[in-house]
Structure 1
């Protein structure tokens, strides 16, 4: 191989290396900064095909997507000095390239460590200002909202990241604390049950007394109305009887006697002891002609 051919090959390799080091691509899912001799000259390189000066410029790329930091469980104390084991995770993303690079040198692991420390401190403060019942069941959502609000400004100012969400996956209690919580919850539920039962008995007695009162009133009204109707009926019957008796007293007396005979002689073994000339046998003796 001649000297000119060797020089041509070397020159071509140099050109290829220079060109390959001059072109770079920033994806849509990435954020990037450009440095010149270690000094930042562009804090927000847009996605696309870009060029740089080899050996002069350097490009640092970061993941622009929402990332999840799932830390290990931590122990916190409540305001009652009761220990809790809390397992939480954080969703975050880079929003300020310059601040993020200055604080972490673009190292995602270092960023996660710094963020984890801040989240841990904020959770410790929130749990330390609340009771066990509040952080376990009563105010967990409120705790998370306050953690996010307090961390957002600090994380963006110091780390250049935005806190999207903070969630507690699990809160575990030591055995002795779990037992005391269970006993307190059981006592509270029993107290509520007694109150509800007592209130139910009170309402039942009130309803029963009102029903008895209404029953007495209804019965009294019904008795009064029945007596009034009975009195009116008796009066009407008496008037009818009197009117009928007044029209033909003899016929009325005759029908009454027939009814009395029917009722008296209905039984086969009946025995009656009467005077022969008793008025009872008046219509059985035969009728006498009257002038």
Structure 2
């Protein structure tokens, strides 16, 4: 073999060895240098770094915020109404060394199921202490922050920081929807019946008040009419008495006219009486004598 060929092989071996001894850390990554499986160094700053080929192994982890989408979870709040909760989390590797010790070679794929179990456990614990109305309202922001804080403390053992937890939806299970709708309809019907009963009661009170007012008004009117009628009769009797005192003959004549009117006032009246009866005295002569 010629020297030139040998030199070429040596050059290629040197270049290959140099390439094997150099590794690059991106600004979005954190790198761990392992020697015989043990962590020897942690590299966070981006740039070119050297390692010992064959002996050193470089493990790189994504330093960005990562998603964690969980499957729908059925929880039971304090009031016993079961809910299907769909939540998600955002997390990042905060301590690469601790993360390596916790999940080993499985890396992120091995961490996700453990994080999901932590998140589900905290969802059940926090949401199980409140009523379903709170979970379904805007006040659940406080609950999400509480879930995040408790999950964060549990995830520290993995070298992971839980950045955020959010509940995308919280709904009743499909099998419970019809029963819930029936309860809602029954409740609305009960409220409607209560309103109708209260309206009828108010109407009865108004009618009773109106009837009492009518009776009182009519009674007062009748009383006033009796008083006025009595006063009128008194005035009439006074006038008649005064007329009688002034001209007794005129009063006798007036009473006779009243007797004629009462006796002959009907449309089919008949009287049988002698012509010389005193009843016709005022009809026999001009003077009435």
Q: TM-score range by the shorter chain?
A: 0.5 to 0.7
Cα gap change, 1:175/1:54 in structure 2, threshold over 3 Å: closer, same or farther? closer
TM-score (norm 2): 0.60
Q: How does 1:21-170 map to 2 (within 5 A)?
A: 21-105=20-104, 107-137=107-137, 139-156=139-156, 158-170=157-169
| Deviation, structure 1 residue 76 | 1.8
Tell me which moved more, 6-15 or 111-120. Answer: 6-15
The residue that corresponds to 1:12 in the other structure is: 11
CA 1:189/1:161 → structure 2, altered by over 3 Å: closer, same or farther? farther
The answer (yes or no) to whether the contact 1:93–1:161 under 8 Å persists in 2 is yes
1:237 paired residue number: none
Unaligned runs of 5+ residues in structure 2 are 203-289
Q: Could you tell me how far apart the structure 2 residues matched to 1:163 and 1:45 are? A: 20
Paired with 1:154 and 1:189, the residues of 2 have a C-alpha distance of 48
* 8 A Cα contact 1:100 1:161, kept in partner: yes
| CA distance in 2 between partners of 1:45 and 1:69 (Å) | 23
The answer to whether the 8 Å contact 2:30/2:42 transfers is no
Maintained 8 Å contact 2:29/2:44: no
Gaps of 5+ in 1: 202-291
SS of corresponding position for 1:115: helix
Secondary structure of 2:89's aligned partner = strand
- Distance, in Å, in 2 between the alignment partners of 1:119 and 1:76 is 13
Per-residue CA distance 1:226-250 (angstroms, 9 max, x = gap): xxxxxxxxxxxxxxxxxxxxxxxxx
Aligned length: 196
1:87-115 superposed Cα distances (whole Å, 9 cap, x missing partner): 11100111111111111226111111111
Q: What SS class does the counterpart of residue 129 from structure 1 fall into?
A: coil
User: CA shift at 1:45, angstroms?
Assistant: 4.0
Any idea what the Cα deviations from partners look like across 1:208-262, whole Å, max 9, x if unmatched? xxxxxxxxxxxxxxxxxxxxxxxxxxxxxxxxxxxxxxxxxxxxxxxxxxxxxxx
Over aligned residue pairs, what C-alpha RMSD do you find? 2.9
Closer/same/farther in 2, CA of residues 144 and 75 from structure 1, 3 Å limit? same
Deviation, 1:190, is: 8.9
Query: Which whole-Å CA distance do the structure 2 matches of 1:119 and 1:9 have between them?
Result: 58
Mapped partners of 2:8, 2:45: distance in 1:
35
Please report how far the alpha carbon of residue 180 of structure 1 lies from its aligned counterpart in structure 2 after TM superposition. 5.1
Q: CA deviation at 1:182?
A: 4.9
After TM superposition, give the deviation of residue 143 of structure 1 in Å: 1.5
TM superposition outliers: structure 1 runs of 4+ over 4 Å: 179-194
Aligned counterpart, 2:177: 178
SS at match of 1:59: strand
Alpha-carbon displacement from aligned partner over 1:157-184 (angstroms, at most 9, x marks no partner):
x111111110111112124533455566
Distance 1:147 1:163 in 2: 10
Change (3 A) 1:182 1:142: farther
Structure 2 residue matching 1:105: 3-state secondary structure: helix
